[in-house]
């Protein structure tokens, strides 16, 4: 299983190769995975906070079976104040909404 993923219709798809096994395919897919337009899922400013949810492209799971591919962070004055990661696009949208609520409550 690949540690790298790209989004296809909001669903993470594993590369299925490495830079060593198929360099051309790997670099083509990594361009898709790191495309800023598709990587940013949602963003919103709430008072002094900026809430950002992104597709990571690289599995951040170190223990367990489900890949961790999405991250929601809250920044205040450029500093990270809140962060959570999840596995699916649906979870990422839910996490983004939770982060917005947190920012509203802490404004």
pLDDT, position 1: 43
Q: What is the pLDDT of residue 37?
A: 63
Report how many domains make up the chain. Answer: 1
Percentage of the chain with pLDDT > 70? 92
Q: State percent of the chain over pLDDT 90.
A: 51
- Contact assessment for residue 55 and residue 70, using Cβ atoms and an 8 Å cutoff: yes
- Report helix, strand or coil for 11: strand
Q: Characterise 77 by phi-psi region: left (phi > 0), alpha (psi -120 to 50), beta (else).
A: left
- Report pLDDT for 52: 97
Q: Provide the residue range defining the domain that includes 18.
A: 5-105
pLDDT tens across 34-64, in order? 665 668 899 999 999 999 999 998 898 888 7
């Amino acid at each position: 299983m690949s540690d790298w993923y790209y989004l296809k219709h909001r669903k993470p798809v594993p590369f299925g190769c490495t830079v060593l096994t198929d360099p051309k395919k790997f670099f083509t897919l990594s361009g898709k995975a790191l495309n800023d337009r598709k990587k940013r899922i949602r963003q919103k400013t709430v008072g002094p906070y900026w809430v950002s949810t992104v597709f990571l492209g690289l599995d951040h799971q170190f223990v367990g079976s489900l890949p961790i591919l999405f991250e929601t962070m809250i920044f205040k004055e450029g500093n990270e104040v809140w962060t959570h990661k999840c596995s699916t696009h649906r979870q990422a949208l839910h996490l983004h909404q939770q982060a917005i609520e947190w920012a509203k409550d802490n404004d």
